[in-house]
Amino acid sequence: MRTALLQSSGRPGSVAENLKVLDEAAGRAAAAGAGLIVTSEMFLTGYAIGDDIARLAEPADGDSADAVAEIATRHGVAVAYGYPEREAARTESEAPGTDGGARIFNSVQLISAEGTRLANYRKTHLFGCFEHDHFTPGDQPVVQAELNGLRVGLMICYDVEFPENVRGHALAGTDLLLVPTAQMHPFQFVAESVVPVRAFENQMYVAYVNRTGPEGEFEFVGLSTLAGPDGVARARAGRGEELVVADADPVFLAASRETNPYLKDRRPGLYGSLV
């Protein structure tokens, strides 16, 4: 499946403007033959927007989801996009990531080219004080959907830096792992080194899609990449705004899994101390 990675600084604080950016990029992705376009973490609103996160958060089936579905349908391309998700809190005591009785999650949603909501994932590993102050962590580590013959998994940024997290996807059969990201300086080695290794050791494709440029107190480093199961980048963006396109090839993936049988050679009985 041809996959487009939208590396953009977006328009922090403006959902309407970010939807326009997505619309234009989806058109270019479709023209390049892509079946899927993936955005960065918190693409719809911007990442470093402080208390505006709660103000702009929406449910998974909210107005923005409808707008993204319309874009996907019109261009004939599936869309995975990052956004702040609002859900009613279960208890009044859930203080972190809540606003007026609602829980706020750092989420990514996958919508098909037909406009169907296929999967929604809530970031399970929150990074730093900023995220812990504004979000509730999710509790479902593996979220997947079938798309164009591939089993697609969802994850967000810091999640991919936990080997156990990605291995869970591998054991569940994920072929293409989508990782919307807001990776800032000085952690560019994650895009350059960690992500290709995750793809290789778990025998999957990993689409790691970053923000770029300054935003609030952060400087995002770009370097979005689609890494293959051989640990080689099929596409890699630079440091600026860019749309890169590459293929996740199921035939190559199957051959690579035969050559590199990490999952078959595992000895889970030895790993009890890791839990």
Over the stretch 255-266, which tens digit does the pLDDT of each residue have?
999 999 999 999
φ, ψ (nearest 5 deg) of residue 235 = -155, 145
What's the predicted TM-score (pTM) here? Answer: 0.95
Across all residues in the chain, what is the average pLDDT? Answer: 95
pLDDT in tens, 126-149: 999 999 999 999 999 999 999 999
Q: Give me the catalytic one of 58, 123, 131, 215.
A: 123
% residues pLDDT > 70 (the chain): 95
Q: CA geometry: angle at 201 spanning 196 and 204, to 5°?
A: 70
pLDDT at 274: 83
**What pLDDT band is residue 100 in, cutting at 50, 70 and 90?**
low
DSSP code of residue 211 = -
pLDDT in tens, 161-197: 999 999 999 999 999 999 999 999 999 999 999 999 9
pLDDT at 23: 99
**Is 129 among the catalytic positions?**
no
Q: Give me the catalytic one of 41, 85, 131, 215.
A: 41
Q: Give me the catalytic one of 58, 85, 131, 157.
A: 157
**What pLDDT band is residue 248 in, cutting at 50, 70 and 90?**
very high
Query: How confident is the model over 208-236, as a mean pLDDT?
Result: 97
**Is 264 among the catalytic positions?**
no
pLDDT at 102: 86
Q: Show the tokens assigned to 23.
A: 């619309």
Question: Which of the residue ranges 88-92, 102-106, 182-186 would you say has the lowest mean pLDDT?
Answer: 88-92
**Is 20 among the catalytic positions?**
no
Say yes or no to pLDDT of 206 above 70.
yes
User: For residues 61-99, b (16+ Cβ closer than 10 Å) or e, as one string?
Assistant: eeebbebbbebbbebebbbbbbbbbbbebeeeeeeebbe
pLDDT at 90: 56
Which alpha helices (DSSP H) does 111-203 contain, by range? 128-134, 163-171, 189, 195-202
Query: How confident is the model over 217-233, as a mean pLDDT?
Result: 98
pLDDT at 34: 99
**What pLDDT band is residue 52 in, cutting at 50, 70 and 90?**
very high
pLDDT at 275: 78
User: For residues 134-159, b (16+ Cβ closer than 10 Å) or e, as one string?
Assistant: bbbebeebbbbbebbebbbbbbbbbb
CATH superfamily of 2-267: Carbon-nitrogen hydrolase (3.60.110.10)
Pseudo-torsion of CA 104, 152, 260, 161, nearest 10°? Answer: -10
Question: Which of the residue ranges 9-13, 40-44, 239-243, 248-252 would you say has the lowest mean pLDDT?
Answer: 9-13
Beta-carbon contacts of 228 under 8 Å, excluding residues fewer than 6 positions away, are 199, 205, 234, 248, 252, 256
